[in-house]
Structure 1
Amino acid sequence: MTDSPLPPLPALPAVSYVMPVLNEEGFLARAVEAVLAQAYDGEKELVLALGPSRDRSTQIAEGIAAADPRVRLVDNPERDIPAGLNRAIRASTHPVVIRVDAHSELTPDYTARGVQALRDTGAANVGGVMRAAGTSPVQRAIARGYNSPYGLGGGAYHGDGTPGPAESAYLGIFRREAIDAVGGYDPGILRGEDWELNLRMRRAGYTVWFEPALGVTYWPRASFGDLAKQFFATGTWRAVLVRKYGRANPWRFFAPGTLVVSLAASLVVMLLLLTSVLPWGWWALGLAPLATYALAIAFAVWRIPEQRGARDRLLTAAALVTMHTCWGAGFLRGITLGGGRVVDRSRA
């Protein structure tokens, strides 16, 4: 399955879970519980990379580590996810490395299925499906955006599909040899670090594998303001990856930036028409991008399931528009100015 063969794994290899933690007091205990409760008979360890949280995350982590010798802590003074993951990986010891997030929960069979997929395919990294969920009306609307192709679209891990080689993987169940061979996460890429690492793995001849039997529950942002911050940062760093890797990026990553430019031009035309600076007539065609996008959002909201009533549909529309426009605005910022210190602090 790969041009860079990896040595065979034993039936039950020991696994190291690595988790960056920053301001996750509402999710951390439950995420750790889901890791330690994995239905897997091989040896397990969990390394938490602790950033300088402003909430009780560090105290919660210290209490967990004091109560369970399988849990170890390392400091992540840089706060950034790639740096924290590298620190946790260096502190871990086992041949299989499993990335987990504090705002995600693994299904009980996640490890067993993932290790089996590594053994069956010879892949260097295996990932599954991210299933977003929410507890409040806004968070559920944001989750619907995540789970729909009309929200994020493109990545196999945002929906069910067939097993096979993939461009990237959500989180990831890695062979340590492959991580070491490509030098780990790039600490200079503050968002999109998974895609960038998987690109380097594929270029080194390793296989990245999508396994839809793997499931992870993801708890997204719970407000549109936090969602906007997150997606602006994500779009910015996607543009950095476009600047760095060019055509290795799929065409779909250019769509939100193009959308924002088109909508901005359409809004300018609308303003000039309404103030009579431009005459009506052919100039009204300049409203086409805005009208087309409004119809597209209406169609997407109509197609997305699990909505009850007008309020849910309005919230879903708001989530989709926030995702598209903030991602696109961030992309335009990144493509012109680079990433700088644009970082997602929405969970702070």
Structure 2
Amino acid sequence: MWEDRRVIPLPETPAVSYVMPVLNEEGFLEAAVRTILAQDYPGEKEIVLALGPSRDRTDEIAERLAAEDPRVRLVANPERDIPAGLNRAIAASRNPVIVRVDAHSELTPDYTRRGIATLRESDAADVGGIMRAAGRSPVQRAIARGYNSPFGLGGGAYHGDGAPGPAESAYLGIFRRDALEAVGGYDPAILRGEDWELSLRLRRAGYGVWFDPSLQVTYWPRASFGDLAKQFFATGTWRAVLVRRYGRANPWRFFAPGTLVIALAVSAVGLLLLVARVLPWASWWLLLLAPAVLYLLGIGYATIRIPEQRGIGDRLRTAATLVTMHLSWGTGFLRGILFGGGRVVDRSRA
């Protein structure tokens, strides 16, 4: 099925290493670790936390968790970047199955058990499921709605309820160690979009990437529009780096937000020229306003269709979420296309 690539057979209950990069996560780290320790998987488990230079109580909490349970181990991640932290945690881990976890995520109790079964049945090297964003405050719930909707993130399989099968990428990922090591692990030069880039290299090496919607992860997104904008600008920038590096291997949806930003900029210039009467209102230049009008209509349609909203306040926050996602991502993408990634990083957790 996977181009005759032979994966090493796994035992019934292989030992599992959970790897987690951590930076400024005092409000989320303990809950994330507890959900890992509470997994109903009967095999041996260890958790390796790669600690970046946090400015809050994250290290204190991590040290307490490690003192309470010997299955929790700590390694330093002085570079602070996610791919570097993951590679350090993987190098310090010992088991044949690697499960990537996030400090802002909480696994369902059966996540590991189901993931191992899927890994064995599919012969894939990387298995992932669905990210269910959730929120506590009104703004965070609006941002979660954006994550969970194709109007927000463009319909990637792990944001919806697709059918099990081969996938372009996997959210977080449950990996066979031998395959992960064969392709060299995460690329430390790719500071965002590292999951997609790793999945591409696995697929090009003949390994399989598999989507299983029975695997569920709760994700707690940013809780302010400012932090969301920082995150999505960095994400868009690094998606552009992937486009520069891999060209046509990238899906078309990567290009949509950047195209939108250009179209809206054209509309803005056209409106200024019309207001200044440089152009006559009766001319075909009015067509310059069409992208902005169509986008506003699209946002209005999305805010009507997205579920779990109550009242005008929720709809306004949903609209603000979608606009922030689209324009921040698209602006970052154009920056990345023109100038590369540089040292653009997500500062929203700082």
Which runs of at least 4 in structure 1 moved beyond 4 Å after TM superposition?
Answer: none
2:349 is aligned to 347
Matched, 1:129 2:130: yes
- The 5 A counterparts of 1:61-140 are 61-140=62-141
Matched, 1:151 2:152: yes
- Which of these residues, 310, 314, 317, is aligned with residue 312 of structure 1? 314
AA of the residue aligned to 2:268: L
Deviations 1:242-262 (A, max 9, x none): 000000000110000000000
SS of residue matched to 1:151: helix
CA distance in 1, matches of 2:316, 2:277: 32
CA distance in 2, matches of 1:88, 1:206: 22
CA distance in 2, matches of 1:39, 1:317: 39
SS of residue matched to 2:73: strand
Q: CA deviation at 1:91?
A: 0.2
CA distance in 2, matches of 1:265, 1:139: 32
2:56 is aligned to 55
CA distance in 2, matches of 1:7, 1:240: 33
**Mapped contact 2:8–2:178 kept (Cα < 8 A):** no
CA distance in 2, matches of 1:314, 1:154: 22
2:28 is aligned to 27
AA of the residue aligned to 2:183: V
Matched, 1:206 2:210: no
CA distance in 2, matches of 1:59, 1:319: 33
AA of the residue aligned to 2:204: R
AA of the residue aligned to 1:188: A
AA of the residue aligned to 1:332: L
**Mapped contact 2:48–2:74 kept (Cα < 8 A):** yes
- The 5 A counterparts of 1:192-203 are 192-203=193-204
2:299 is aligned to 297
Which is worse superposed, 47-56 or 149-158?
A: 149-158
1:2 is aligned to 2
Q: CA deviation at 1:265?
A: 0.7
AA of the residue aligned to 1:121: S
Structure 2 gap ranges (5+): none
Which is worse superposed, 276-285 or 170-179?
A: 276-285
CA distance in 2, matches of 1:19, 1:209: 21
Matched, 1:329 2:331: yes
Q: CA deviation at 1:5?
A: 1.3
1:43 is aligned to 44
CA distance in 2, matches of 1:276, 1:296: 28
Matched, 1:189 2:184: no
Aligned length: 348
AA of the residue aligned to 1:259: L
CA distance in 1, matches of 2:137, 2:41: 33
Q: CA deviation at 1:285?
A: 1.1
**Mapped contact 2:149–2:155 kept (Cα < 8 A):** no
1:178 is aligned to 179
SS of residue matched to 1:41: coil
**Mapped contact 2:26–2:56 kept (Cα < 8 A):** yes
Q: CA deviation at 1:278?
A: 1.4
SS of residue matched to 1:101: coil
Q: CA deviation at 1:272?
A: 1.3
CA distance in 1, matches of 2:318, 2:273: 30
CA distance in 1, matches of 2:30, 2:254: 35
CA distance in 2, matches of 1:5, 1:255: 37
Percent of residue pairs bearing the same amino acid type: 77
CA distance in 1, matches of 2:23, 2:167: 29
TM-score (norm 1): 0.99
- The 5 A counterparts of 1:203-242 are 203-242=204-243
CA distance in 1, matches of 2:307, 2:155: 18
Deviations 1:37-58 (A, max 9, x none): 0000000000000000000000
Structure 1 gap ranges (5+): none
AA of the residue aligned to 2:69: D
2:165 is aligned to 164
TM-score (norm 2): 0.99
SS of residue matched to 2:152: coil
CA distance in 1, matches of 2:155, 2:194: 17
CA distance in 2, matches of 1:97, 1:176: 6
Q: CA deviation at 1:171?
A: 0.1
Q: CA deviation at 1:154?
A: 2.9
Q: CA deviation at 1:216?
A: 0.2
CA distance in 2, matches of 1:5, 1:234: 34
